[in-house]
Amino acid sequence: MAGERVCLVTAPAERADDIARVLVQERLAACVNIVPSVRSVYRWEGEVQQDEEALLVVKTTADRLVALDARLADVHPYDTYELVALEVTGGNAAYLAWIGAGVTPG
């Protein structure tokens, strides 16, 4: 393993495909799964809010996280967007290697 990460990013459903495509095309993610409908309940500016969003499950590596975050700042419509990176501690070795190869520039 080379520091694989699974990142969670929520976004408006109508923007999810575009965000996912940018991340994969620019090798910031090897794969992005889009879960088309999640209901988010959260506190924002002192009030409890509720929205329908899409959940992007982003497969990347630790060394691409800074660039991933920077690119999300450009393409994501929210000023304060969700980006939570979870460390991968095991899995199919061939798949984990594929993730690393998918985010290697060049």
How far apart CA 25 and CA 49 sit, in angstroms, is 33
Residue 41: per-residue pLDDT: 97
How far apart CA 44 and CA 21 sit, in angstroms, is 28
This prediction has a pTM of 0.94
Residue 1: per-residue pLDDT: 47
pLDDT digits (tens, 9 = 90+) for 46-100: 999 999 999 999 999 999 999 999 999 999 999 999 999 999 999 999 999 999 9
Task: Using alpha carbons, select from 2, 31, 30, 36 the residue that is nearest to residue 16.
Answer: 36
Q: Dmax of the chain from CA atoms?
A: 46
